[in-house]
Amino acid sequence: MTTPASQPELFELSNGSMKVKITNLGCTITSLEVPDKNGNLADVVLGFDSIEPYQKGLAPYFGCIVGRVANRIKDGKFSLEGVEYTLPLNRPPNSLHGGNKGFDKMVWEVAQQTQGQTPSITFKYHSRDGEEGYPGDLAVTATYSLISNTTLKLEMEAVPDKKATPVSLAQHTYWNLAGHSHGTILDHSIQIWGSHVTPVDQNTLPTGEILSVKGTPFDFTAEKRIGASIHEVEGPGYDHNYVLQQDGNGDQKYSGLRLAAKLREPSSGRAMALWTNAPGMQFYTANNVNGIAGKGGANYGKHSAVCLETQGFPNAVNQPNFPSVIVQPGHKYQHAMVFEFSAE
């Protein structure tokens, strides 16, 4: 068992083409610079200039890894192997993203860091039995690596020790491919390789249904402007889990991963393809971001970014028809994603 790291620090991965800054506080991406069609670098993630605002809880999950269970759990309750567990209701009436002090608010230990053409950094965290109400000890690792000129990979693993537990981690970066301070993402276009969503109630909790997107504002099976139908969505914007296609879409470029989404920004020409092995993806248009003072004096408002959070389905612990997020002792949870940037 490892002793927890004491201080949050900032680390950099750079390969000459792109540059990523990450803090071991929540494994948070604080900055990610990639070139546009003219070769100009811009930082395409929302965040803060220093670690302090993250420590103060000013970020609405900017850039971090959330867990032990991402997204919402109904009434903060679930039963497992005959025991009922109660979690903090940090987003009443539900529990969200692991509770009051989820993995995003923990200082992780740096287990390994490598430099060179494919630089990487591995963080690890030991979650205790009973932490935020969850059962059993859980050993977690997260490795960020630059696997090619403009491609970032994240691999997350978690192994429960003596008790079964739900595990569903997500990477919660807020993307704006024009640059973090460039206004809304309504003119970005996106294609999502998912023809169904899990509809939600008034508290953004899935009802348990699995609904075809055909003929709805949720249909991004063909590339479409994010702002095209957003006014037709009940509520302030998109904040919905997509059921990702499980068949081989794309050419299996990355072993075991499928193409989940492709995001494009017309003025810069930047595009980002997202690959994952997760069953779901939360598509969130920063509906609740409201006047946050960000990096370099930027003011982040509503729809100033988009989150593409690959995940297990929200509230899967209470929905038997959703893919299970329970991991047995000694078994390994594995969740990988690739962010492949280009400029066109």
Catalytic residues: 172, 309
Q: Is residue 2 part of an annotated ligand binding site?
A: no
Q: Distance between the two ends of the chain, CA-based, in angstroms?
A: 47
C-beta neighbour count of 156 within 10 angstroms: 24
Q: Dihedral (C-alpha) 240, 339, 66, 242: value to the nearest 10 degrees? A: 20
Q: Is residue 173 part of an annotated ligand binding site?
A: yes
Q: On the CB side of 123, how many CA atoms lie within 13 Å of its CA?
A: 28
Cα 205 from Cα 73, distance rounded (Å): 8
Minimal CA–CA distance to 80: which of 71, 68, 90, 92? Answer: 68
Q: Is residue 72 part of an annotated ligand binding site?
A: yes
Q: How is residue 53 annotated by DSSP?
A: H
Do the Cβ atoms of 4 and 107 come closer than 8 Å? yes
Q: Is residue 188 part of an annotated ligand binding site?
A: no
C-beta neighbour count of 263 within 10 angstroms: 25
74-108 core/surface letters (b: 16 or more CB in 10 A; e: else): bbbbbebeeeebebbbbbeebbbbbbeebbbbbbb
Q: Is residue 144 part of an annotated ligand binding site?
A: no
Q: How is residue 327 annotated by DSSP?
A: E
Annotated binding site for beta-D-galactose: 71-72, 172-174, 239
In the annotated binding site, the residues are 71-72, 172-174, 239
